[in-house]
Amino acid sequence: MLQRWLSLLLVAVSLGFLGAAAQAQTPAAPAAEQFHEGFAYNRLPVPQPVSPSDKIVVMEFFWYDCPHCADFDPLLESWAKKLPPNVVLERVPVAFSPQFVPQQHLYYALKALGKLNDAMQAKIFQAIHQQHIPLGTPEQMANWLAQQGIPKKAFLDAYNSFGVNAQVKQATQMVTDYQIQGVPTMAVQGMYTTSAALPEANNNQKVLQVVDYLIKKVQAAKK
């Protein structure tokens, strides 16, 4: 009886070692993707050129009058301050209809004057959404900006300049090229877009997590 029991024990131990050996030889399953195409981000059918070409370029498509863009802006600015040197953030003002166009001019005129920074971006959102100051026409913008220390004539000259008109035209074309249907929408390296309209990126924090994921995806493809 004892001998039979010992024989069974030896068989069990042997099977245990074989099972462990087999388990050790089985390759680990690949880690699941953190985010999924079509659910957290979309791939553009035609990749778009980005500049500078030696950087990873992240774009935010936005509209000053959009309350969701206003809510997103402080989080985006905080996130952008932590970007590595090889990643840059660019903003693109959209115009889904003609009444949006003046605010495209506002953005690029301030940029041309060297007056567009995080503080000014925040001030514009605050003026529109918290102080309820209308900034929909060049005159309204010029009067408000004069209170911020920007001469009215200088702003209006920039607003109507050839360079600003060209940038506005380019931005409008980019809305088509990137298939932007709502704002805020983020784009990465001219290849991917994401927004809170997608189920796996359904809030502002998750949108930026998806952007971080896409940046790493682009970096991995460059190696």
Dump pLDDT digits (tens) for 147-204: 999 999 999 999 999 999 999 999 999 999 999 999 999 999 999 999 999 999 999 9
Asked whether residue 22 is assigned to any structural domain, the reply reads: no
Residue 223 has pLDDT above 90, yes or no: no
Q: How many CB atoms lie within 10 A of CB 48?
A: 14
Structural domain containing residue 208: 42-218
**pLDDT level of residue 222 (50, 70, 90 thresholds):** confident
For 4, 52, 170, 177, 211, the CA distances from 193, given in Å and listed in that order, are 68, 19, 18, 12, 9
Kindly tell me the sign of the dihedral angle through the C-alpha atoms of 31, 75, 112, 179. positive
| pLDDT tens-digit series, residues 98-142 | 999 999 999 999 999 999 999 999 999 999 999 999 999 999 999
pLDDT value for 47:
97
Q: Which two tokens stand for residue 23?
A: 């388990």
Asked if residue 100 belongs to a domain, the reply is yes
Say if 153 falls within a structural domain: yes
pLDDT in tens, 10-51: 344 344 433 443 333 433 333 457 899 999 999 999 999 999
Residue 64's pLDDT band (cuts 50, 70, 90):
very high
24: left (phi over 0), alpha (psi -120 to 50) or beta: alpha
Q: Would 1 be classed as within a structural domain?
A: no
Mean pLDDT of 208-222: 96
Confirm whether 115 is domain-assigned.
Answer: yes
Q: Is residue 15 part of a domain?
A: no
In a domain, 169, yes or no: yes
* Domain CATH for 208: 3.40.30.10
The reported pTM is 0.84
Q: Average model confidence (pLDDT) for the chain?
A: 89
pLDDT band at 97 (very low <50, low <70, confident <90, very high): very high
- The answer as to whether 4 is a domain residue is no
pLDDT of residue 220: 93
pLDDT of residue 192: 98
Counted domains in the chain: 1
Residue 29's pLDDT is 36
